[in-house]
Amino acid sequence: MKYDVGIIGSGPAGLSAAIYAKRANLSAVVIEKEYEGTGQIAESGQVDNYPGFPGISGYDLGENFREHAVKLGVSFMEQEVTEIKKEASSDFELVFADGSQVEAKTVIYAAGATPRRANIPGEQEYAGKGVSYCAICDGSFYRGKSVAVLGGGDTALDDAVYLADVAEKVYVIHRRKEFRGAAVTVAKLREKENVIFVLEHQVKEIIGEQKVTGVVLEDAAVIDVNGVFVAYGAVPQTDLLKKFAVLDDSGYVRAGETGETALEGLYVAGDAKTKKLRQVVTAVSDGANAATAVAEYLK
Ligand code: NAP
């Protein structure tokens, strides 16, 4: 069978694309590597910024999206796509790790990006119990508490600005003296009394008792905090698209609002796309836009 659209990735962007594709009467298949909850969102303890569902758990919100897609009759395949083939103006062939493949007239690429991990002891153990990769998602749980932001890029600096209005104390821990992020944000942070810069230091361990209680620096000094926001950048999951010359220098798929890429028939939605705000709400918006653009293209 040749699908109208093969959707790679089953996070909020992929599921939203599937819902819109189904409602546009397209045959759609969602391909997911391994079903472990709905993408990155399943790792967020609580989601407090998705309109209409204050305080819902990330896992439950993802499951709601999935149930919605299933109810509409979206097909799912648990397969790892190892290659995307497309000759000039032909359809797409999606090749799977087990050697099988499916054909699709178009592809919506929604495989997302993963936050770069710090790869230090305690990080995995306390994920969701004080360790977070998203200040906008989880910051409000640290009202009146102390947090550490790790990193010196724009994400870390923006996170620190956001958290300084919520938390009692914000430690910005960065391995160098110079920041990769905007000087204007650094200046803004320096004016805030509750922001403490810990520069030329690196966190080597996150410690706790059921929940995070502190971070240990490489000189063994301990800073007591209730939350750790790792902002070491993100890694877009776009290796499969490298050969098509649709990526920017950081590996994100270049596209505007419709998700249309430079390769005919290939659309992108969610965190793998070039954009400023990577959130559930923007991912589902991307999915809707991409599926609508696909429906128009196929017409
Ligand atoms: P980034 O620019 O890659 O910064 C990552 C930061 O984490 C760097 O300061 C880096 O240190 C540090 N880091 C990475 N791995 C580390 C490790 N193992 N140990 C210690 N430190 C580590 O990532 P980002 O801040 O997420 O930004 C990504 C892109 O999005 C950038 O182009 C950024 O400008 C853009 N962005 C823009 C905005 C905005 O315009 N408001 C907001 C967010 C992001 P070093 O500096 O020493 O390498």
The response to whether residue 232 sits with its C-beta less than 6 Å from ligand 1 reads yes
What are the Cα distances from residue 23, in Å, to 16, 88, 296? Answer: 11, 29, 13
The pLDDT assigned to 52 comes to 96
pLDDT higher than threshold 60 for residue 284: yes
Domains in the chain and their CATH numbers?
Answer: 2-114+234-298 (3.50.50.60), 117-230 (3.50.50.60)
The response to whether residue 117 sits with its C-beta less than 6 Å from ligand 1 reads no
Pocket test for ligand 1, best of 162, 175, 202, 228 (most atoms within 8 A of CB): 175
- Rounded to the nearest angstrom, the distance between the alpha carbon of 103 and the centre of ligand 1 is 38
Split at pLDDT 50, 70, 90, the class of 38 is low
The response to whether residue 251 sits with its C-beta less than 6 Å from ligand 1 reads no
Nearest CA owner, ligand 1 atom 14: 232
CB-CB contact of 176 with 151 (8 Å):
no
pLDDT higher than threshold 90 for residue 211: yes
pLDDT higher than threshold 80 for residue 217: yes
The pLDDT assigned to 269 comes to 98
Pocket test for ligand 1, best of 155, 205, 274 (most atoms within 8 A of CB): 155
Split at pLDDT 50, 70, 90, the class of 47 is confident
The response to whether residue 275 sits with its C-beta less than 6 Å from ligand 1 reads no
**DSSP 8-state symbol, 181:** S
The pLDDT assigned to 41 comes to 67
Share of the chain above pLDDT 90, in %: 85
Mean pLDDT (whole number) for 281-299: 98
pLDDT higher than threshold 80 for residue 39: no
CB-CB contact of 181 with 153 (8 Å):
yes
Across the chain, what does the average pLDDT equal? 94
CB under 8 Å to 233, separation ≥6 — which residues? 115, 116, 151, 153, 155
Q: Which atom of ligand 1 is nearest to the CA of 202?
A: 20
Q: Say which residue the tokens 């109208």 belong to.
A: 4
Nearest CA owner, ligand 1 atom 7: 232
What pLDDT, in 10s, does the model give residues 69-82?
999 999 999 999 99
Nearest CA owner, ligand 1 atom 35: 154
